[in-house]
Amino acid sequence: MTQSTTVMGVRRIDDRTSIVDIRGDITAQSEGPLMEAYNQASGERTRVVILNFGGLDYMNSGGIGLLVTLLVRANRLKQRLTACGLNEHYRQIFELTRLDEAIAIFVAEDQALSAARS
């Protein structure tokens, strides 16, 4: 089996906001690292989790499926999932798959943070 090449980092900005830094690939193999990072990012009072895709190398359709699963989980916990750092290609993939209708996309992390605080 192919090992996941996904590396996740988690930053708790404050009680309400966390950032998950995604580096490497997002494929179906990334489920473990992504869900573990989300668990770390998600506290009792967390309201917004920002996925920073600045370090994303590659995402396939399995990765999109994972993001849907993550979104369902976030909705269940009444948390908002947002994204930043996507390059033009993956912004278009979010449009194609209509993930952009449920996950707000920001160009830069500071914009995502400002929106989270507003």
Partner 1 sequence: MNDKASGTRRSTDNWAASVRTLRVGAVAEGALNANVQGHRTSGALQGFGQLWQKTFRTRLPGANLAPADVIRVWKGEFATFWPRGLGMPRMFAPLTGIAPGEVGVINIDMPGGVVLSTGVLVMYADDESFTFMTPEGHMFAGWITFSAGQEDTDVLLQIQVLIRAYDPLTELFQLLGGRRVEERFWERTLQAVAARFGPPDAVIQTEVSRVDGRRQWSRVGNIFRSSNFRPRVRWFR
Please report, as ranges, the residues that interact with partner 1 according to CB under 8 A. 1-2, 5, 25, 27-29, 57-58, 60-62, 64-65, 68-69, 71-72, 76, 89, 92-93, 95-99, 101-102
Based on CB atoms, which residue is closest to partner 1, 36 or 57? 57
Rounded-to-integer distance, Cα 96 and Cα 7, Å: 25
If the CB atoms of residues 45 and 98 are measured against partner 1, the closer one turns out to be 98
- Least distance from C-beta 40 to partner 1, angstroms? 21
Rounded to a whole number of angstroms, the minimum distance from the CB of residue 24 to partner 1 is: 10
Alpha carbons 31 and 3: distance in angstroms, whole number: 11
Residue 13 or 102 having the CB closest to partner 1: 102
Quick one: which of 90, 7, 5, 42 has its CA closest to 103? 90
The least CB distance from residue 98 to partner 1, in Å, is: 5
Token pair 């009792």: residue: 44
Residue 68 vs 107, nearer CB to partner 1: 68
Of 114, 6, 115, 3, residue with least CA distance to 57: 6
Identify the residue whose tokens are 């930053």.
11
The one-letter amino acid at 59: M
Q: How far apart are CA 43 and CA 55, in angstroms?
A: 24
**CB 7, min distance to partner 1, A:** 14
